[in-house]
Amino acid sequence: MSKKRIFFTGGTGKAGKHVVNYLIEQGHKVMNVDLTPLDHPKVDNLIADITDSGQMFNAMSSYTGLDELELGNGVPKFDAVVHFAAVPRILIKPDNETFRVNTFGTYNVIEAAVKLGIKKIIIASSETTYGICFSDGKTDPKVLPLEEDYDVNPMDSYGLSKVVNEKTAQSFQRRSGFDIYALRIGNVIEPHEYTELFPYYFKNPEVRRRNAFCYIDARDLGQIVDLCLEKDGLGYEVFNAGNDHNGAVLPNKELIERFFPNVPISRELEEHEALFSNRKIREVLGFKEQHNWRNYLKWD
C-alpha cells in the first residue's frame, strides 16, 4: 500500500481519533484539522474552522509540521483529504446551525481540495440519510436491507445536511473527474463501548430500531477509509460503512417480524447479516471485518 500525506478534518472526534490512529499505523502521514487538537505523538494538529473557506484553502496548502521545513522544497502537496468534521447529530446545536456547519463546511473542504488539485477526497456521510434514525415517530424504511441505491429522503436537519453533502461531492466530482467517495457511516462503536452499551441494547432491542441495528467498529472504519485511499478510479461513489452483522442477538427473521413486519425484503438474508448492508464495501473495496461484536462480548 502506498503511504500518503493526508489532510484529515475532525480527527479529534469519537470516530476520527480511531481512524487517524489506524491510518498512522498503516504508515500514512496525517495532519488533523479540527477546532481542538488530538493528543497523539505522531499527529500534527492545525486548529482551523471548516466553515471558513479561506482557512480551508490556506490549511490545505500548508506544511503539516516543522519537520517539513527541513526538506527545503517548499510546501509538499496533500495526496488525499478525509473529511469527518461536523456537528454529528441533531439536538446538539439548533437545526439551522447543524445544517450550516455541515453543508458549508463540506462545501469549503471539497472546493478547496478540488481547486488545489487533490485528487482523492473521502467524506463522512451517515446512515441517517436513510431517514429512519431521526424521523418524527416510528417510520418504516422503504425496503430492507438498506443499500446504497436507496432513494434517500430524511426529514431532519442533520440527515438532510448529509444528503446535501453527497450532492455537493457528486457535483465537484463531475466538474473535476477526481475520486470523491462518501461513506454512509453506521453507528460508531469504540472498543470500550461493547461492554458498556451492548448489554443494554440486547435487553432492549427496540432502542436500536432507528439504526436498523447497525454498528461500525471505529477501527474497522479506519480500514474502510484506508481501502478508499488505496482504491483509485471510481469517480463518485457512496458506500455504507458498517460491520458484517447486526448489532443484535436476535436473528433477522425475528428482528424483521418484530420490528419491520410491513417492510419489503429485497433479497435473501443470512441469519445475522446486517440490515444496513455492507455488501458494497466488501465487494468493491475488499473490506474484511476485524472487529465483530462477538469478539468482545459473550451473549447467549
Ligand X SMILES: NC(=O)c1ccc[n+]([C@@H]2O[C@H](COP(=O)([O-])OP(=O)(O)OC[C@H]3O[C@@H](n4cnc5c(N)ncnc54)[C@H](O)[C@@H]3O)[C@@H](O)[C@H]2O)c1
State the nearest-atom distance from the C-beta of 70 to ligand X, in Å: 28
Among 188, 214, 274, 285, interactor with ligand X by CB under 6 A: 188
Q: If binding is defined by CB under 6 A, does position 165 make contact with ligand X?
A: no
Hey, is 268 helix, strand or coil?
Answer: coil
What size, in residues, is the chain? 300
- CA torsion, ordered 267, 270, 273, 278, to nearest 10 deg: -50
Does 113 interact with ligand X (rule: CB under 6 A)? no
Is the Cβ of residue 193 or residue 256 nearer to ligand X in the bound state?
193
Answer for which of 1, 3, 36, 232 binds ligand X (CB under 6 A) is: 36
Residue nearest ligand X, CB atom distance:
13
Which of 49/79 has CB closer to ligand X?
A: 49
137 dihedral zone (left: phi>0; alpha: psi -120 to 50; beta): left
Site size with ligand X, rule: CB under 6 A: 24
Residue nearer to ligand X on the CB measure, 10 or 154? 10
Site for ligand X in 1-30 (CB under 6 A): 10, 12-16
Nearer to ligand X, 85 or 255 (CB): 85
DSSP track, 31-63 = EEEESS----TT-EEEE--TT-HHHHHHHHTS-
242 contacts ligand X (rule: CB under 6 A): no
Q: Per-residue contact track with ligand X, 115 to 144, x per CB under 6 A?
A: ---------x-xx-----------------
> DSSP states of 127-192 as a string?
GGGGSSTT-SS----SSBSB-TTS-----SHHHHHHHHHHHHHHHHHHHH--EEEEEEE--EE-TT
